[in-house]
Amino acid sequence: MLTNQIRALARQATRTDSRSINVRSFTVTAGSRTRSVSSKTRSIRHLATKSSTASAKSASSASADSIVTTPPTGSAITLKSATRDESQFGTRPIYLDVQATTPTDPRVLDKMLTFLTGMYGNPHSSTHAYGWETDKEVEKAREYVAAVIKADPKEIIFTSGATETNNMAIKGVPRFYKKTKKHIITTQTEHKCVLDSARHMQDEGFDVTYLPVDEHGLISLDDLKAAIRKDTILVSVMAVNNEIGVVQPLKEIGKICRENKIFFHTDAAQAYGKIDIDVNDMNIDLLSISSHKIYGPMGIGACYVRRRPRVRLDPIITGGGQERGLRSGTLSPPLVAGFGEAARLMKEEMDYDKAHITRLSNKLKEGLLSIPATQLNGSNNPESQYPGCVNISFAYIEGESLLMALKDIALSSGSACTSASLEPSYVLHALGADDALAHSSIRFGIGRFTTEEEVDYVIKAINERVEFLRKMSPLWEMVQEGIDLDSIEWSGH
H or E, element range at 410: strand 409-410
- What DSSP line would sit under 196-255, residue for residue? HHHHHHHHTT-EEEEE---TTSPPPHHHHHHH--TTEEEEE--SB-TTT-BB--HHHHHH
CA nearest to 289, candidates 278, 276, 273: 273
Q: What are residue 375's phi and psi, to 5 degrees?
A: -145, 135
Task: Find the radius of gyration of the CA atoms of the chain.
Answer: 25
The residues, any chain, with a CB within 8 Å of residue 58's CB and separated by 6 or more, are: 72
Question: Which residue among 193, 303, 389, 417 is the active-site one?
Answer: 417
* Cα separations in angstroms, 8 against 84, 295, 361, 446: 17, 15, 20, 16
For the chain, the farthest-separated pair of C-alpha atoms sits apart, in whole angstroms, at 82
d(CA 75, CA 55): 10
d(CA 402, CA 462): 8
Q: Are 74 and 51 in contact (CB under 8 A)?
A: yes
CA nearest to 290, candidates 486, 5, 47, 98: 98
Any catalytic annotation for residue 257? no
What residues are annotated to the active site?
Answer: 417
